[in-house]
Amino acid sequence: MSGYFRDIYTGGKSLLIGLGVTFKAIIKPVVTVQYPREKIDVTPNIRGHIELVRFDENDSRHNCLVCGMCAKNCPCGCLTVEGEKREGVKGKVLTVFDYDFTKCSLCGICVESCSRTALTFSSEYELAGFSRQEFHFDLIKRLEGK
Amino acid sequence: MSLMKNTLDILKSGSFDVAESDYKKCGYHLEVKLTESQVRDFAQAMLDCGFYIDFVSAVHVTPCFQVVYQFAHFDEACRINAKAMANAQGEIPTICDIYHGANWHERETHDFYGVVFTGHADLRTLLLSEEDADLKPLLKHADKLVNVETITRKSGGDAEMKPVKKTKEEQTAAE
Amino acid sequence: MSTMTKFETTDKHRFLLNMGPQHPATHGVLRVILEMDGEYAMGIDPVLGYGHRMQEKMAESRTWPGFYPNTGRMDYVGAMPFNHGYVALIERMAGIEVPERAEYIRVITSEMNRIASHLLGIGAYVLDLGAFTPILYAFDDREDILDALEDITGSRLTYCYYRVGGVLKDIDDTFIKRTRAFIENFRKRIPMYNDLVTGNVIFIKRTEGVGIITADMARRYGATGPTLRGSGIAYDIRKSEPYSVYSHFDFDIPTGKNGDSLDRYYVRICELEQSLRIIEQALDKLPDGPVLAKPKRAKLQEGDCSFSVETARGVLTYYLVGDGSEVPYKLKIRVPSYSNLSLLEEMCTGMLIADLVSAMGSLDLVIPEIDR
Ligand code: SF4
Ligand code: SF4
């Protein structure tokens, strides 16, 4: 019989302690953020999709010399880089830089392998679309569009 | 270190082909080479010494599969790697009644390579689905398949990795 | 995955019950076929493979740097140690020296990831048992860790941060400050978890004496991690085969006594504090210097090599066989939950189904890790 009452006592006590924790949380500030209406500051270091880097601030050309290392090293095979020889220009000129974001694993090997730091991660994290094709990016266009 | 010495002695007295290996380079302390018929005795000896089973797997080579067993100990740092060649039909005795944990590892190895563990009561597919039971995904293509010698560590040889020659593109990139 | 069960019941009092693959208590796509006698599970047959991706084949079909992203996608809850094991394996095979600062950063991030993983594990376990609130507190704390890690690694879950020869990016003062603040804050929160969960009578009644694992069982099945330490064996790769710079730190290995679900749960709670201690010491001792030794592209030498690390769930072993090319000839990934789950049958046969859920939850399974 005494065990019965002891159970009630310990049970009641643990219940009260637990409720105490919950009560303290009630009077604390809310930690959840109502996402689409409110937003938190996301760190600029976030790895979004890949994009080409601008030459410098007021020059919207890119830095890529079409060596193809990024495409070669990408484990997911989601980069297509093509260039052509043009008269009067040293080296190759970038004509195609296609990027299939649906396959990308955001590992960063392409960014690392680019000796010209022509690639970087964007800090865009809100991407949504209705079809897969929307995530096949043409990075040259994207760079020009900025 | 006493445990390692003990185990070494026990294994030697059980006439297993055992050698100490360089932990810094290969990640295990003792290396054991087994014949197909020794596998069960070896597993029993491991259990008697108090080792736990880390994994069982296989490597597809010529002439046949090399089955790899790894054991380690809870009390001291002592990791044992054992290798046994399966017979020409790809069969090797099971150890899943000695080490029950080997059951799933052996089923997995059977899934991936088709190694038959004789005496295993339940070689249903585990990770692959039933339709893929004959797929054996980890079997090597004939042009990739190498001899067991090729994947054996050269004793006393240079452990240095040979750097790969830079390709042309890389050289341009580096400039 | 085998659709055929091994049970052939003729007894008309027995019936088969499918638990999963979408059962909330199986934490992912695990299916367990139970042969029930009333409310008692008399036969247990886990069915795996719903999330199977053949990671080992992927490793064999690309050069070794290409496998980096895959390592983070096996155990997505505690991805850092999986990264760590792989880069350390290649480093061991190639004899690459890692700058000390990089090793410290690896330890710090791995331990933070371990805390995050344990918090999720604890929260989800208590959720299995019917208490909804604790997981919300756990997620609140976990959020701090993820934010801090996001700042330096760029991702929140499937990290790909370690590189052969170091880490990708150096940590900065903001991160250090943030981590210190987190440690201070989290120390105060641990007693709260004890109040809320550990001391709760219902929780204790559901877990005490349920799903006992003995040392002998653990040995035969190769159970490791908190699952093993709950049974009173102080085995931790960080101590027994110290890798990275773990030998520089002073920490304990918490163990349980009875090997029941309660002990396994409590070991995780105690490990939170130990991880905090490691992070603190690492932050204090953090040396200056480079974080990435310029990795040389290299062929894998001929021969085999294995590397074990302690993940949040137990021992992870990578076993690599090289044939002298840049592509691994074979990579075996021994994942901890795989062995931990395999003892379910022996542990739970003859149990009430409600206890089975409790015992299975206490193993802290991550199914994509098991399926690979
Ligand atoms: S981040 Fe990785 S997967 Fe994505 S494009 Fe770059 S190399 Fe390829
Ligand atoms: S590695 Fe850099 S320079 Fe070379 S193709 Fe890619 S983006 Fe261009």
DSSP classification of residue C199:
T
How high does pLDDT run on average in chain C?
86
Chain B CB contacts of C372 below 8 Å:
127
Alpha-carbon distance of C3 to C220, in angstroms, equals: 27
Q: Which residues form the pocket of ligand 2, taking CB atoms under 6 Å from any ligand atom?
A: A 64-70, 81, 113-114, 116, 118-119
Cβ under 8 Å to C: A residues 85-104:
none
- Pick the residue whose CA is nearest to atom 8 on ligand 1: A74
Q: Position of tokens 């001792």?
A: C285
Alpha-carbon distance of C250 to C274, in angstroms, equals: 9
Residue B46, burial from CB neighbour count under 10 angstroms (0-12, 13-18, 19+): buried
> What are the structural domains of chain B?
3-174 (3.30.460.80)
Residue pair C81/C87 in contact (Cβ under 8 Å)? The answer is no
Q: Of A7, A18, A112, which has the smallest distance from its Cβ to C200's Cβ?
A: A18
Chain C CB contacts of B28 below 8 Å:
306
pLDDT at C281 over 50: yes
Q: Of C56, C332, C339, which has the smallest distance from its Cβ to B101's Cβ?
A: C339
Single-letter amino acid code for the residue at B90? G
Report yes or no: C2 at the A interface, CB cutoff 8 Å.
no
Residues of chain A with CATH 3.30.70.3270: 50-145
Residue range C185-236, pLDDT digits in tens = 899 888 888 888 888 888 888 888 888 888 888 888 888 989 888 888 888 8
Other chains touching B, judged by 3 or more CB pairs under 8 Å: A, C
pLDDT at C34 over 60: yes
Instruction: Please state the domain extents for chain C.
Output: 55-333
Answer whether A139 contacts ligand 1 (Cβ < 6 A): no
Residue range A75-102, pLDDT digits in tens = 888 888 888 877 777 777 777 888 888 8
- Pick the residue whose CA is nearest to atom 3 on ligand 2: A64
pLDDT at C1 over 80: no
Sequence length of chain B is: 175
pLDDT at A108 over 70: yes
Residue B88, burial from CB neighbour count under 10 angstroms (0-12, 13-18, 19+): exposed
Answer whether A119 contacts ligand 1 (Cβ < 6 A): no
Question: What is the pLDDT, as a whole number, of residue B96?
Answer: 86
Alpha-carbon distance of C293 to C296, in angstroms, equals: 9
Question: What is the pLDDT, as a whole number, of residue A61?
Answer: 74
Question: What fold, for C55-333?
Answer: Cytochrome-c3 Hydrogenase; chain B (1.10.645)
pLDDT at C150 over 80: yes
- For B83, the enclosing helix (H) or strand (E) is strand B79-85
Q: What average pLDDT does range A47-66 have in this prediction?
A: 77
Answer whether A114 contacts ligand 1 (Cβ < 6 A): no
Residue range B44-89, pLDDT digits in tens = 888 888 889 889 999 888 888 889 999 998 888 888 888 888 888 8
How high does pLDDT run on average in chain B?
80
pLDDT at B20 over 50: yes
Q: Which of C89, C75, C108 is nearest to C308 (CA)?
A: C89
Question: What is the pLDDT, as a whole number, of residue C296?
Answer: 63
- For A100, the enclosing helix (H) or strand (E) is strand A92-100
Residue range C284-331, pLDDT digits in tens = 888 888 888 876 667 777 888 889 999 988 899 999 888 878 888 888
- Which residues in B have their CB inside 8 Å of a CB on A? 169-170, 172-174
Q: How far is CA A103 from CA A141, C52, C61, C88, C300, in A?
A: 20, 18, 17, 27, 27
Q: What average pLDDT does range A127-132 have in this prediction?
A: 86
Quick one: CATH architecture of A50-145? Answer: 2-Layer Sandwich (3.30)
Q: How far is CA A60 from CA A54, A114, C28, in A?
A: 5, 19, 46
Q: Strand C31-37 and strand C40-47: pairing?
A: antiparallel
- Whether residues C201 and A11 touch (CB distance < 8 A) is answered with yes
Question: What is the pLDDT, as a whole number, of residue C318?
Answer: 92
CA of A70 to the centre of ligand 1 (A): 8
pLDDT at B159 over 50: no
Chain C CB contacts of A109 below 8 Å:
65-66, 68-69
Question: What is the pLDDT, as a whole number, of residue B163?
Answer: 47
Nearest bound ligand to CA A119?
A: 2
Report yes or no: A68 at the B interface, CB cutoff 8 Å.
yes
| Residue ranges of E strands in B35-74 | 51-60, 65-73
Question: What is the pLDDT, as a whole number, of residue B175?
Answer: 41
Question: What is the pLDDT, as a whole number, of residue C113?
Answer: 92
Structure tokens at A8: 């009630």
Q: Strand C40-47 and strand C351-352: pairing?
A: antiparallel
